């Protein structure tokens, strides 16, 4: 078991972020810090002369962070500003394009129990989230880096005058405040590069120890800056050349002037060769190369001048203002957030299907409610782990090499199910290091089924369409006998077993519970909690008001009627076409069909069966597959939405329509009967014929009574806000999660 210092013995830590023109990443860095599991820390953010919206980002955190400013684009100056404002016994540095592991501080700080330790650094993961950027680094007195094995004991290098010493990476470094004050903090000559290396060397020469803590992880993004591009190609070399030249002259003298001269000559030649290589391989232009070569010459000259001044001044300390008054320690809230893992093979925008969209909406809502959220999903190309907009995305691959045992133990098909399940479980094992509280996974494909047997993790099974519920609408499953017996039937039996023993179940409607209990012969009882699906407010997203819509509806234009969904009998697209066919030619109406692109054969069938000549009929428009933004505009422009679905566990289209103040005409099937309220948010019909005839009648009546249509629009949106918003869903799901953990005695939030 990991040994951390007790909360009582944990010293206060000041985390310092130095930022310059990285507003889009800065908010994630701050959010990541605020999710740290450490009892006593404050966050100090020093904004350089940024010209982007960094100040707006920082304003949103007012009162929770120390917000300082640095007037020059110099990292060492900015770091010293941060130190001067830090009230902790330990100062930890994090870049503005990095996010810490939640136990980062606990791992770093436990090393400071040794009073001889002056600095501790961790291991840093690169922008893929799965590969190392830097682990242990040892530098010489010319600033050259060497990378020993993880097993190398850097403590043997901690003695004054050592030719080699541990050098920490700036974005994953921490220092004892007393040690920083003793050596004068950072040297302002190091505007960029080697600033932390210089600190580590001066700290070791002063008798302090600098060590590594491999478990203290930082995830680093390599964002573009005024120095380099996002692909790490240099925009300018001048600041780094000044730093390296100064470092070689300032610290290399103990190795002899001949070696100093040789080191400078080798460094210059190396840079010029690298610039030539970049041009020869088309990475930079000839003009860019000449500019970089000029930076090399000017930087060496400036570095030599700086080192000469430092020698004349006998400079041995940094440029930190001594005895600065940092102000009171601004403690974070100190509450460990609820940490939840959601599993979904697909996510928007690549996948807008029900589970994928629900997972993303829930994740965003939970994030906004203060929950730390991880999503495990399938990688489109290479696996990665990234913290984006306050959510951890773990894009992983299947693990077929681990799938045989899972397929045998849980009696699920190996290909497509057990191999993906194995990849999910491998990632969950990694996520246990984050201190996860709960894993939620969908019943479809049982993506994280083995967590039901993991005593270390609380699990929730979310109910959606199942294989048994989908089978009546999938004739190809029954026609392919071998597929049905080798894949579909084993999945149905695995679903039944999971339903029988899942300790906690989340459903979005009473209907899906009743359908599943009937189909599988299981009683879910008090293990299940109903939380209706939520979705964003389309009116708010589009920047329009309800009054805008009501004004448009009252101007006498034809009523727009929308069908949004796949062209499957299960979705009732044929019923929507029958309604459109009956009203075709009536100038009071026009119809939009979105969500699927009909092929030539289907268009011919629509023409022969319904008399609708899709490309030529001015009253019926087939938009095909549309992106989310287009779909939301269609919802807003629609006056009514048809949803004649013959099977619907919930009815996402209905609440999306209501979020755009658009009432719904629906079959009273499944969850739709719970979502659509008769005469309030739309109208319900009992069967196919009732839908077609009733929809035609309702549309005719509403076309002639725009006031009644306006009242339906108002009440539809009001019901949405009260019951089906994204925030309401996230609040109720979070309450469910917390109640589970509280009952088990593991709720730390």
Instruction: Dump strand ranges (E) for 128-231.
Output: 132-134, 138-140, 145-146, 164-166, 173-176, 209-220
Residue 607 has pLDDT above 90, yes or no: no
> Is residue 328 in a domain?
no
Beta bridge partners of 218: 100, 124
Q: What is the dihedral of CA 175, 176, 182, 185, to 10 degrees?
A: 30
Q: What is the pLDDT of residue 745?
A: 77
Same domain, 496 and 563: no
Residue 334 has pLDDT above 70, yes or no: no
Q: What is the pLDDT of residue 639?
A: 97
**How are beta strands 209-220 and 372-378 bridged, if at all?**
unpaired
Q: What is the pLDDT of residue 616?
A: 81
Please provide the average confidence, as pLDDT, over all residues in the chain.
Answer: 93
Residue 748 has pLDDT above 60, yes or no: no
Confidence tier at 478 by pLDDT (50, 70, 90) = confident
Same domain, 519 and 552: no
> Is residue 503 in a domain?
yes
- Residue 525 vs residues 390, 466, 545: alpha-carbon distances, Å: 35, 19, 42
> Is residue 224 in a domain?
yes
CB burial class (10 A; 0-12, 13-18, 19+) of residue 306?
buried
Same domain, 494 and 563: no
Residue 333 has pLDDT above 90, yes or no: no
| Number of structural domains the chain divides into | 3
Same domain, 510 and 547: no
Task: For residue 196, give every residue at least 6 positions away whose Cβ sits within 8 Å of its Cβ, in sequence order, or none.
Answer: 93, 167, 168, 169, 170, 173
> Is residue 626 in a domain?
yes
Residue 650 has pLDDT above 80, yes or no: no
Same domain, 111 and 42: yes
Percent of the chain that is helix, strand, coil (3-state, to 5): 45, 20, 35
Residue 290 has pLDDT above 50, yes or no: yes
Check which CATH number belongs to the domain holding 543 and give it.
3.40.50.2000
Confidence tier at 271 by pLDDT (50, 70, 90) = very high
Tell me: the pLDDT tens digits for 609-623?
A: 888 887 788 889 999
Tell me: the pLDDT tens digits for 396-407?
A: 999 999 999 999
Mean pLDDT of 329-357: 89
| Domain hosting residue 689, numbered range | 538-724
Helix ranges, 591-719 (H): 600-610, 628-637, 652-659, 672-675, 688-704, 706-719
> Is residue 741 in a domain?
no
Same domain, 394 and 426: yes
Distance separating alpha carbons of residues 646 and 668, to the nearest angstrom: 9
Q: What is the pLDDT of residue 749?
A: 47
Check which CATH number belongs to the domain holding 163 and give it.
3.90.550.10
Q: Given 465, 495, 530, which residue is the final one in a domain?
A: 530
Q: Walk across the sheet containing 145-146 and list its strands.
A: 145-146, 138-140, 164-166
2 vs 405, higher pLDDT: 405
- Helix axis angle for 652-659 and 628-637, nearest 10°, is 70
Same domain, 421 and 546: no
Same domain, 636 and 684: yes
Residue 606 has pLDDT above 90, yes or no: no
Residue 564: strand, helix, or coil: strand
Query: Which helix (H) or strand (E) element contains residue 490?
Result: helix 489-501
Same domain, 363 and 408: yes
Percentage above 70 pLDDT, the chain: 99
Residue 323 has pLDDT above 80, yes or no: no
> Is residue 332 in a domain?
no
Same domain, 286 and 149: yes
Same domain, 525 and 599: no
Average the pLDDT over each of 13-17, 39-43, 406-410, 625-629 and give the range with the smallest value. 625-629
pTM more than 0.85: yes
Same domain, 120 and 203: yes
User: Taking a C-beta distance cutoff of 8 angstroms, is the pair 108, 213 a contact?
Assistant: yes
User: Taking a C-beta distance cutoff of 8 angstroms, is the pair 238, 295 a contact?
Assistant: yes
Q: Given 530, 562, 589, which residue is the final one in a domain?
A: 530
Distance separating alpha carbons of residues 514 and 648, to the nearest angstrom: 12
> Is residue 734 in a domain?
no
CB burial class (10 A; 0-12, 13-18, 19+) of residue 83?
buried
Percentage above 90 pLDDT, the chain: 82
Average the pLDDT over each of 226-235, 328-337, 450-459 and give the range with the smallest value. 226-235
Q: What is the pLDDT of residue 609?
A: 86
Tell me: the pLDDT tens digits for 66-125?
A: 999 999 999 999 999 999 999 999 999 999 999 999 999 999 999 999 999 999 999 999
End-to-end CA distance of the chain: 22
Residue 645 has pLDDT above 70, yes or no: yes
Q: Which of 504, 512, 505, 507 is nearest to 531 (CA)?
A: 507
Mean pLDDT of 517-526: 95
Q: Walk across the sheet containing 384-388 and list its strands.
A: 384-388, 391-396, 372-378, 339-343, 438-442, 458-462, 505-507, 528-530
> Is residue 7 in a domain?
no
């Amino acid at each position: 078991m990991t040994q951390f210092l007790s909360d009582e013995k944990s010293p206060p830590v000041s985390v310092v972020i130095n930022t310059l023109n990285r507003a889009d990443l800065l908010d994630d860095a701050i959010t990541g810090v605020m999710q740290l599991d450490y009892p006593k820390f404050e966050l100090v953010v020093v904004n350089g002369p940024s010209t982007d919206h960094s100040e707006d980002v920082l304003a949103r955190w007012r009162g929770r962070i120390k917000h300082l400013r640095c007037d020059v684009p110099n990292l060492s100056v900015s770091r010293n500003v941060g130190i001067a404002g830090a009230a902790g016994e330990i100062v930890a540095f994090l870049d503005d394009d990095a996010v810490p592991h939640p136990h980062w501080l606990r791992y770093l700080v436990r090393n400071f129990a040794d009073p001889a330790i002056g600095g501790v650094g961790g291991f840093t993961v690169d922008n893929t989230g799965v590969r190392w950027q830097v682990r242990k680094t040892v530098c010489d007195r010319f600033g050259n880096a060497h990378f020993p094995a993880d097993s190398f004991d850097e403590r043997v290098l901690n003695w004054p005058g050592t030719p080699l010493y541990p050098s920490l990476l700036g974005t994953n470094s921490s220092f004892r405040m007393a040690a920083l004050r003793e050596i004068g903090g950072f040297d302002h000559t190091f505007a960029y590069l080697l600033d932390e290396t210089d600190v580590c060397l001066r700290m070791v020469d002063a008798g302090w120890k600098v060590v590594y803590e491999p478990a203290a992880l930082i995830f680093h993004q390599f964002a573009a800056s005024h120095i380099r591009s996002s692909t790490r190609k240099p925009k300018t070399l001048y600041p780094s050349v000044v730093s390296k030249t100064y470092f070689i002259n300032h610290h290399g003298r103990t190795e002899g002037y001949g070696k100093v001269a040789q080191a400078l000559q080798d460094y210059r030649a190396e840079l010029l060769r690298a610039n030539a290589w970049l041009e020869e391989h088309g990475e930079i232009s000839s003009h860019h190369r000449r500019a970089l070569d000029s930076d090399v010459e000017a930087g060496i000259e400036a570095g030599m001048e700086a080192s000469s001044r430092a020698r004349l001044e006998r400079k041995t300390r940094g440029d930190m203002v001594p005895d600065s008054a940092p102000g009171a320690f601004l403690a974070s809230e100190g509450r460990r957030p609820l940490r939840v893992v959601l599993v979904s093979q697909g996510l928007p925008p690549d996948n807008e299907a029900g589970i994928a969209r629900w997972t993303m909406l829930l994740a965003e809502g939970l994030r906004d409610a203060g929950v730390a959220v991880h999503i495990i999903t399938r990688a489109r190309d290479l696996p990665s782990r990234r913290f984006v907009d306050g959510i951890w995305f773990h894009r992983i691959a299947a693990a077929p090499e681990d799938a045989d045992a899972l397929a045998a133990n849980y009696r699920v098909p190996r290909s497509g199910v057990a191999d993906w399940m194995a990849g999910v479980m491998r990632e969950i094992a990694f996520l246990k290091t984050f201190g996860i509280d709960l894993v939620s996974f969908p019943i479809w494909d049982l993506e994280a089924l083995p967590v039901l047997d993991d005593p270390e993790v609380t699990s929730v099974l979310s109910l959606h369409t199942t294989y048994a519920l989908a089978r009546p609408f999938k004739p190809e499953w029954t026609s392919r006998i071998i597929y049905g017996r080798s894949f579909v039937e084993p999945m149905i039996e695995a679903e039944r077993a999971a339903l029988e023993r899942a300790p906690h179940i989340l459903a979005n409607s009473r209907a899906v519970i009743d359908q599943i209990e009937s189909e599988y012969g299981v009683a879910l009882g008090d293990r299940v909690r109903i939380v209706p699906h939520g979705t964003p407010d389309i009116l708010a997203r589009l920047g329009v008001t309800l009054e805008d819509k009501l004004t448009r509806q009252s101007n006498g234009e034809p009523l727009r009627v929308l069908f949004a969904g796949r062209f499957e009998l299960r979705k009732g697209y044929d019923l929507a076409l029958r309604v459109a066919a009956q009203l075709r030619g009536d100038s009071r109406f026009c119809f939009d069909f979105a969500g699927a692109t009909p092929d030539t054969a289907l268009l011919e069938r629509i023409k022969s069966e319904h008399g609708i000549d899709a490309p030529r009929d001015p009253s019926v428009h087939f938009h095909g597959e549309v992106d989310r933004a287009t779909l939301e505009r269609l919802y807003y422009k629609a006056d009514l939405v048809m949803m004649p679905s013959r099977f619907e566990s919930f009815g996402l289209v209905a609440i999306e329509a209501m979020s755009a103040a658009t009432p719904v005409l629906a079959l009273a099937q499944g969850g739709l009967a719970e979502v659509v309220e008769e005469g309030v948010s739309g109208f319900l019909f009992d069967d196919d014929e009732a839908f077609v005839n009733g929809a035609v009648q309702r549309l005719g009546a509403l076309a002639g009574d725009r006031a009644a249509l306006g009242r339906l629009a108002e009440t539809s949106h009001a019901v949405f806000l009260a019951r089906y918003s994204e925030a309401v869903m996230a609040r109720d799901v979070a309450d469910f999660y917390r109640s589970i953990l509280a009952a088990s005695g593991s709720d730390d939030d």
